[in-house]
Structure 1
Amino acid sequence: MSVSDEDFEIMSRQLGRKIRGAVEVSYRTPDGQPAVVKTTPKLPDGTPFPTLYYLTDPRLTAEASRLEVAGVMRTMQERLGTDEALAADYRAAHEHYLAERNAMEDLGTDFSGGGMPDRVKCLHVLIAYALAEGPDRVQLGTEAVALAAAHTPKLSGTAIPADWPTPESLGTSLEAAMAE
């Protein structure tokens, strides 16, 4: 998959700046918009850019920000510290992320994205990762996408696949994720 001139222009408008290091559109919304771009580990000017999957769709970036402000990262971080299976899934997702990025170019670092493997630092990265690779790759990303659809239902079927797992099917809820 590559980035067409049209997708390049759309994603540049979405971000409000020229997109850099784009390799492919890794996720396109149900309504046809490019929403996640896969980027090179180094930008054309040589600057390291360890974020493999980058969220571009403004509907999704806004929702990721709303969920971050609502405390979702904090509750995910707490669960990561107490749920061994969740922590193992997160470590596996981290290792896969590194392998995918390093297959293009090894940056010589074990930093992946979103705070993996120990912290939940950025829902934008987790949502991009889950949408790019599907709901079976990174549980916390899959949950973040599900929470976005539950929090803003109009995203389901437009920006998020209508058949994406629900928070309840994943063993959580919007209320639990945003608990103080």
Structure 2
Amino acid sequence: MTSPESPTTPGLGADDAAAVAAQLGRPPRAVRAVAHRCPCGLPSVVQTAPRLEDGTPFPTLYYLTCSRLAARLGTLEAEGRMREMTERLAQDPELAAAYQRAHEAYLAERDAIDSLGTNVSAGGMPGRVKCLHVHAAHALAAGPGVNPFGDEALAEVGEWWAAGPCVTCTHPTP
């Protein structure tokens, strides 16, 4: 059963809005929809509007919300995985081409909603790898085979959901 949209978070039902707020530790901004759900049933990625409510450009189309997955990806980042991935871009033309296609797909999806008039996508695409959270969110939302570094990071963190939901939340039912 789908809950009605939350009056404070357009694009999300009340249950999803409460879960995302608990995951992030703050109310979400400019959310359009849940883009991926964790196997536990909670949102793990939301699609955001290309502009915040006040009109400020927000180029991150897919935003990772699962706090457990975010923590695991943060560990990979701290281990220097982004630097290793960026180095591989310069050495592997096929990987660089796949990453370029991911960048172009990201821009096309975002621009179909609202063009920001820029070729800046997210996560350092297409020249470097800057944020594994963005790449994992893109890979989860778009599916396997679209973002090579998102797919790689997700494979490395494994079954982040196996321990159960990352948050428990309740909210008053209207």
Same fold (TM over 0.5): yes
- Distance in 2 of aligned mates of 1:158 and 1:75: 29
CA contact under 8 A between 2:43 and 2:66: conserved in structure 1? Answer: yes
Q: Aligned pair in 2 of structure 1 residues 4, 73: CA closer, same or farther (>3 Å)?
A: same
Aligned to 1:112, which of 118, 121, 128?
A: 121
Tell me which stretches of 4 or more aligned residues in structure 1 moved more than 4 Å.
156-159
Deviation at 1:48, TM superposition (A): 0.9
Deviation at 1:15, TM superposition (A): 0.6
CA contact under 8 A between 1:30 and 1:158: conserved in structure 2? Answer: no
Q: How does 1:70-109 map to 2 (within 5 A)?
A: 70-109=79-118
Structure (1/2) with the larger helix percentage: 1
Structure (1/2) with the larger strand percentage: 2
Question: Does 1:11 pair with 2:16?
Answer: no
Gaps of 5+ in 2: 3-10, 165-174
Q: Which residue type is aligned with residue 109 of structure 1?
A: T
Q: Which residue type is aligned with residue 123 of structure 1?
A: L
Q: How does 1:32-71 map to 2 (within 5 A)?
A: 32-71=41-80
How many aligned residue pairs are there? 155
Question: Does 1:125 pair with 2:130?
Answer: no
Percent sequence identity is 51
Q: Which residue type is aligned with residue 94 of structure 1?
A: H
Gaps of 5+ in 1: 160-180
Superimposed CA distance per residue, residues 30-57 of structure 1 (whole angstroms, 9 cap, x where no aligned partner) = 0111010000000111111100000000
- Distance in 2 of aligned mates of 1:49 and 1:68: 22
Normalized against structure 1, the TM-score is what? 0.82
Superimposed CA distance per residue, residues 32-87 of structure 1 (whole angstroms, 9 cap, x where no aligned partner) = 11010000000111111100000000001101100000111111111111000000
CA contact under 8 A between 1:29 and 1:158: conserved in structure 2? Answer: no
Q: Aligned pair in 2 of structure 1 residues 135, 67: CA closer, same or farther (>3 Å)?
A: same
Question: Which secondary structure state, in structure 2, belongs to the residue aligned with residue 25 of structure 1?
Answer: strand
CA RMSD of aligned residues (A): 1.5
Question: Which secondary structure state, in structure 1, belongs to the residue aligned with residue 119 of structure 2?
Answer: coil
Question: Does 1:140 pair with 2:149?
Answer: yes
Normalized against structure 2, the TM-score is what? 0.85
CA contact under 8 A between 1:38 and 1:52: conserved in structure 2? Answer: yes
